[in-house]
Amino acid sequence: MNNTTAKPVLLFIDDETRILRTMEMAFKRDYHVLTTTDGREALEILTQHNVDVIISDQRMPLITGVEVLREAKRISPASVRILLTGYAELASIVGSINDGEIFRYVQKPWHLNELRETLDEAVAIAKTTREAALQAEHLAAPASGHLVVLHSKRAMAQLIIKEKPDYRVDYAVNLEQALTFLHHYPNAILLTDIVLPEGDISDALALLKRKRPALVVLVVTAFTDTSHLIRLINRAQVFRVLPMPLSRRMLYNSIHAALCHQRTLEHTPIMLRRHSVAKDVEENEKNASLLGRVRGYLDKMRATGAA
């Protein structure tokens, strides 16, 4: 691969040439801008250029943005991936996290200044983590690990334990108990529902990830509010979203992927930059009690030197 310019490289993929012209005019001063209306051509471009950030529209006629980003992750793992779309479809959102592992989900109509800030951040992250991202592709799978299951039904944990996994599984009945497990086992992975008997924990997850970016979170949910899930992607950087009814294969594969991902973060901590939450984190006062519990947990972590 090679770049013909010292400028960072952006690749925009959209089936509307008007949008591509707008992007090129807006960003060509600071970046070398590549554009295409064809997702398959975009993948070919990735074999020829070191692209820092890939920005793909979701709704295209021949190949979706999620499919492009999934293949882009394989071809160019060092590139930071962004999905740009106004077509809020649950399957697409889930696919963008689970397959493409995107950095941000930007909804249309986008605001140029906000998009510029997102791209500036993504480029900076791509530049500082390129070598680590390439090295991470060669790390071996972990031999063991630890999973904390936070769910209203114990059957979720029992389903996992039934497979006799080579990692430890602890079941938490509420957020308080899950935070206690995470305090004692800081490297544990969290598998959780969004809506629990104690309320919606989305804000709590966002606060938790903002302060503890190394925490790997899997979300299992029947929640279908796509706007809510988009905010969860950007604000809490969840690693996987698993929609109910849940496929066993998806569950086990996602846990394995999370364990591998955690190993990557442990060995190449600079990769944490690729999972930074959006800066515009807002807290809903209705969830003050849940947020207070998270802050209490974070205080304990700081007191023991673990955070």
Alpha helix ranges (H) inside the chain: 17-27, 39-46, 65-75, 90-98, 112-136, 155-161, 175-184, 202-211, 226-236, 248-267, 288-303
pLDDT at 107 (0 to 100): 83
147 Cβ contact partners less than 8 Å away, ≥ 6 residues apart:
160, 165, 167, 168, 169, 170, 188, 189, 191, 255
Task: Return the CATH superfamily for domain 9-136.
Answer: Response regulator (3.40.50.2300)
Tell me what the pLDDT averaged over the chain comes to. 87
pLDDT at 284 (0 to 100): 56
Torsion of CA 235, 208, 243, 185, to 10 degrees: 150
CATH of domain 146-303: 3.40.50.2300
Distance CA 265, CA 217 (A): 13
Domain boundaries, the chain: 9-136, 146-303
Same topology, domains 9-136 and 146-303? Answer is yes
Query: What's the pLDDT tens digit per position in 68-115?
Result: 999 999 999 999 999 987 766 677 778 777 877 889 988 888 889 999
15, 89, 198, 200, 254 from 244: Cα distances, Å: 32, 15, 20, 16, 14
Q: Kindly report each contact of residues 223-229 with a partner whose C-beta sits within 8 Å and lies 24 or more positions away, as own/partner.
A: 223/194, 223/195, 224/90, 226/88, 226/89, 226/90, 226/93, 227/88, 228/194, 228/202, 229/90, 229/93, 229/94
Query: What's the pLDDT tens digit per position in 201-213?
Result: 988 999 899 888 8
Q: Which helix (H) or strand (E) holds 9?
A: strand 9-13
Query: What's the pLDDT tens digit per position in 150-172?
Result: 999 999 999 999 988 989 999 99
CB 94 within 8 Å of CB 71: no
